[in-house]
Structure 1
């Protein structure tokens, strides 16, 4: 699962320490007690955003007698530094750690910090989307992450606000409004004319959707050289976002800011681009009073992937075997369907994606939208991406700030692009 973040100097320094010290002595979790016979009394799981594990772990506890503590961090900009610090100091990491795609790519550079899951779990190499499984491997071939979700794209929109703007509200009619990105912009203009407000939350959610929809090399080429200024996918995303800013169709709320979170409930904007994992976040921010007002429609262009995560086991865990088994349990077909129904993370397990219960699932909060079908149908169309080792830093500390500076009128187009390409080289260096 993917959430945007801003790298801090502390995180960068800590990551340098991780790289320098390499493999760390196993210090484990300070709170990790062990029962007689070697079975842990408790295993700790670190996640960010919403993975939908609250009810799932209750059954695991009944089956194994091992208590599971879920430590949740709301945002990735707070989560990542905690993981970096734990790896650098050799203590404090959970037994099972969720790694978002950008973080995983970065941490692959030092796989010695992560247990090789291959010998600890059954062979699941044929059980998941092939490209997703391969991305969980370190450069030396060791399996360091078991696949959780994939961020298949859609649009979350407010039916009541569309109705007030005299736009169609039924999801099939809404989908017909934007077969492509130009049509989406035209819809935004109509919404602005009718309401005086921005249809979309921010240009950065749009740029993410467009960029990830393109596939191929983004900020790096296959040799991990920074190509931010020449990448066709990046330029397409940039130009589309600039066109949206020029058309004045956004509410200019920076993603993950307090204003953005409040905007869901206050009706500051009427649409946002929703990877499957975003459904739980939209619901949490919107509150029970807006149940049924939100709905889900296909994204312009029909498909795309934004985000997704893996579960890994730090070498400092005192119970790597049991931790690996817990990660295996949380990512199996049955529990990926359960997590999707709870909070929206889209399964990557092939059996789960064919599960009739998943395909028939409708989300009550989102006006009973058939989210299983909407997201499930788009999985096969997802184009594999090459992110590179510091994709997250380039995207969130170079690309998005430059776009926001133009969106807010602080920079011209040329100055914003110049700012991005300059910062990309700094943020992408390794």
Structure 2
């Protein structure tokens, strides 16, 4: 079976399955049928997940255009994706502008007819963004499915007060020097655990994305023909082994990422450090609360530069106001929009002028002990080399790899059985 045929068959099966299972539409928007009316809408709906930093920007857009913007936020990607798929499958409920994260973008490329070609509506923006990021926003048929938002340049967020209690350095340069490698990171964790008796990091899965995406240009769960290679990928094995090493060191809190316990752990000091792509800063701040302002800081990630996450803004053909929706997407991702979003919640710009903007470069994050986050993250952007993500990357990672690692971390499975479960579930989750 050819790759294109396999993709078409998978798209049809996936969307039909979700449609059959769906009993409600996504969030109650009344968009049905689509087609640009050419009229100025009273309201546009934007769907995002996590902390995109758009709250102030949409208010500004409302003032400039007179169009009301409804911003619908979902905390977790694994809750966000089914809503989008369901709205596309049922033909109703989709927002006018939808955030498409890199882990799910390729899945939606399987049926590009669900998405407006933005190029005729926003013009040629190819010179405005990191070139590889812009190109990844295109569907196989060449249409521009999404305009770039952010990339997830890596760092480590850590609690200075907890480090101080463990007699560890608190200065970010000194902390970065503690762990040039992941092995040194684990050594630091053991020192912390010995001094405090507490967990150093949240979970053994905290390093999975960082390590995978540090394998420059690598294929992860799928090769470039979208064939499942989870059981043979060197990048996946490197990430797996690092997660196992964290668990074996006994320095994890054994908390499931994105769970209520994980959210509360930031505020309660359950762990002292976690992997932090740029977009995670807003989540850390939101979960930790104002009482922990100034207690967090940002250090370098072990092992060098990598990119965890990043998104695009797309307009579904279901929207009745495609032209106006495209204008809004362009506004949110232009130079000023990306700088403002970064300052608000941390998403790292991909707009080239935004990356050169003095207010971005000089920006310091008060919540994170005045860390020069613009400089720290901005300097690593040019070192990012994208990895290849298959159309079911997110499903394999969240529903196969991470559950197997958690089962090992909590003692439910030994190493061999955990790997066996992962590869078996990966084949299921990644099937076309």
Q: 1:309 Cα shift?
A: 0.6
Q: Indicate if the aligned counterparts of 1:341 and 1:361 stay in contact, CA closer than 8 A.
A: yes
Counterpart Cα distance in 2 of 1:76 and 1:154: 21
Q: Aligned residue for 2:109?
A: 108
CA deviation string 1:251-310 (max 9, x = no partner): 111100111111001110000000100000000100000000000011012311100110
Q: Indicate if the aligned counterparts of 2:31 and 2:94 stay in contact, CA closer than 8 A.
A: no
Q: Indicate if the aligned counterparts of 1:152 and 1:346 stay in contact, CA closer than 8 A.
A: yes
Counterpart Cα distance in 1 of 2:38 and 2:253: 58
1:360-375 pair list within 5 angstroms: 360-375=362-377
Counterpart Cα distance in 1 of 2:126 and 2:154: 25
Q: Aligned residue for 1:23?
A: none
Q: Aligned residue for 2:148?
A: 147
Q: Structure 1 residues 228 and 102 mapped into 2: Cα distance closer, same or farther (>3 Å)?
A: same
Indicate whether 1:69 and 2:70 are aligned. Answer: yes
Counterpart Cα distance in 1 of 2:103 and 2:304: 24
Q: Aligned residue for 1:310?
A: 312
SS in 1 for 2:47: strand
Q: Aligned residue for 1:300?
A: 302
Q: Structure 1 residues 426 and 31 mapped into 2: Cα distance closer, same or farther (>3 Å)?
A: closer
Q: Aligned residue for 2:58?
A: 57
Q: Aligned residue for 1:132?
A: 133
Q: Structure 1 residues 121 and 19 mapped into 2: Cα distance closer, same or farther (>3 Å)?
A: farther
Q: Aligned residue for 1:5?
A: none
Q: Indicate if the aligned counterparts of 1:44 and 1:95 stay in contact, CA closer than 8 A.
A: yes
Q: Aligned residue for 2:259?
A: 257
Q: Aligned residue for 2:352?
A: 350
List, as ranges, runs of 4+ consecutive aligned residues in structure 1 with deviation greater than 2 Å: 12-20
Counterpart Cα distance in 1 of 2:330 and 2:161: 42
Counterpart Cα distance in 2 of 1:17 and 1:125: 36
The alignment's TM-score, normalised by the length of structure 2, stands at 0.92
Q: 1:19 Cα shift?
A: 9.6
SS in 1 for 2:155: strand
Q: Indicate if the aligned counterparts of 1:228 and 1:424 stay in contact, CA closer than 8 A.
A: yes
Q: Indicate if the aligned counterparts of 1:18 and 1:87 stay in contact, CA closer than 8 A.
A: no
Q: 1:13 Cα shift?
A: 7.8
Indicate whether 1:177 and 2:183 are aligned. Answer: no
Q: Aligned residue for 1:409?
A: 411
Counterpart Cα distance in 2 of 1:127 and 1:428: 34
CA deviation string 1:28-72 (max 9, x = no partner): 95279xxx9821111110111111111111221122111111111
Counterpart Cα distance in 2 of 1:77 and 1:218: 19
Instruction: Name stretches of at least 5 consecutive residues in structure 2 with no aligned partner.
Output: 1-11, 21-27
Q: Aligned residue for 1:340?
A: 342
SS in 2 for 1:380: helix
Counterpart Cα distance in 1 of 2:70 and 2:182: 43
Greater mean deviation of Cα atoms: 60-69 or 39-48: 60-69
Counterpart Cα distance in 2 of 1:385 and 1:279: 23
Instruction: Name stretches of at least 5 consecutive residues in structure 1 with no aligned partner.
Output: 1-11, 21-27
SS in 2 for 1:214: coil
Q: Indicate if the aligned counterparts of 1:14 and 1:85 stay in contact, CA closer than 8 A.
A: no
Q: Aligned residue for 2:9?
A: none
RMSD: 1.9
Q: Aligned residue for 1:162?
A: 163
Q: 1:244 Cα shift?
A: 1.0
Indicate whether 1:191 and 2:179 are aligned. Answer: no
